[in-house]
Amino acid sequence: MEQRIGYKVITKDRYSALIIESVAAIRYPVQKTVKPKDNCGPICVFRTAIQAKTFIRRHNSSRYLMKVKCSYEESDYKAIWTVTPPRGRVPLWCLPVGTALADSVTCLE
């Protein structure tokens, strides 16, 4: 599948935003391709910088979250999920506007 350009919202220490304590939490080093952890999937990214900035602003989280440009492989899945506790599934339509789901992500900055 072709690589797309988007934006990943991560913590200042480069971990997943909002799921820091979760089994699905991932670290996002620069220029390293990451995939969802086992029994989890896919990864959320934003299609545009404006959508990523809006997410950060709405969560009043600019002190500990940042947006980084990334390339990603778009997923065929239409929901994020985990089968390890806490189990759950969240459909794409319930996620923030502009969210794309990815099978792999490479942070470019």
pLDDT at 20 > cutoff 60: no
What pLDDT does residue 83 have? Answer: 77
Q: Higher model confidence: residue 57 or residue 23?
A: 57
pLDDT at residue 50 in the model: 97
> Where does the chain have alpha helices with state H?
49-58
List, in order, residues 6 or more apart from 60 with CB less than 8 Å away: none
Q: How many folded domains does the chain comprise?
A: 1
Q: What is the mean pLDDT of residues 18-36?
A: 83
- Give the span between the Cα atoms of 64 and 1, in whole angstroms: 33
